[in-house]
Amino acid sequence: MTFDIVTIFPAMIEAPLAGGIIGRGIERGTLDVAVRDLRAFTTDRHRVVDDMPYGGGPGMVLKPEPIFRALDAIEAERGTPLTVILTSPQGKPFTQADAQRLSGVAHLVLLCGRYEGFDDRVRERVTEEVSIGDYILTGGELPALVILDAVARFVPGVVGDEQSVIDESFSRGLLDFPQYTRPAEVDDLRVPDVLLSGDHAAIRRWRKKEALTRTLERRPDLLAGATLDDEEREILRELQNGRIAGLQDG
């Protein structure tokens, strides 16, 4: 799979891609990432990429022509039509389902904007506008890396166990249960006894309870879309009753 990333800060993209699982995918040739410096597509002496907003106001807006030229160059090189992803706080929330779907596209272009935004005419060339969350960043470089990482995991050969990547994305929709490894005790902190008991039914039930407890406390919004088995529904009922009783106990 091929990614073209258009940015005014190429080093912000290049450095993180040098290492890790994505870096290995690039070394192996399973992934191809081309970082495109937006300034290379300017035509003026000072390589200006932004300008003041029409109508006034603070900040600068990215000029449309360098972006159009960059997209024209990528299109000429890769062939048409391009799938262009723009990351911005105005985008639809990017989800795991989006990551899986986009991994089916052979070639993606990721446009990194600045905080103040693009000239809106750039949106004529944008296939999808996505947000990675409700917080303000200085630019779209980190969101582009997040999207690349989440999409590239689905490309066969990038992550060791392909099937587990697929299975994860269809998993029950709950937060994970707590995990432990050796030693059984460190700094007076013990691994829960049930995990050392060898009682596999008890371990399964404990993990379900922990996953449901975490989800109920931290991400109750996930419960509406989760697929629960009979045992999980029973545990959830107990937790919800216990929680109301717990209020009286303090």
Applying CB under 6 A, the span of 134-142, 166-174, 195-203, 205-213 interacting with ligand J9Q comes to: 134-142
Please give the Cα distance from 56 to 235 (Å, whole number): 57
Biggest distance spanned by C-alpha atoms of the chain: 73
Q: Does 136 bind ligand J9Q (CB under 6 A)?
A: yes
Q: Does 88 bind ligand J9Q (CB under 6 A)?
A: yes
65 to 84: interface string for ligand J9Q, x by CB under 6 A? --------------------
Q: Pairing state of beta strands 83-93 and 61-62?
A: unpaired
Give the full edge-to-edge strand order of the sheet including 128-131: 32-37, 2-7, 107-112, 83-93, 128-131
Q: Does 89 bind ligand J9Q (CB under 6 A)?
A: yes
CA-closest candidate to residue 12, choices 199, 124, 141, 147: 141
Q: Does 53 bind ligand J9Q (CB under 6 A)?
A: no
* Count of residues making up the chain: 250
**One-letter identity of residue 91:** G
- Single residue of 115, 164, 170, 219 touching ligand J9Q by CB under 6 A: 115
Burial class (CB in 10 A: 0-12, 13-18, 19+), 6: buried
Q: Does 2 bind ligand J9Q (CB under 6 A)?
A: no
Q: Does 139 bind ligand J9Q (CB under 6 A)?
A: yes
Q: Does 60 bind ligand J9Q (CB under 6 A)?
A: no
Binding site for ligand J9Q (CB under 6 A): 87-89, 113, 115, 131-133, 136-137, 139-140, 143
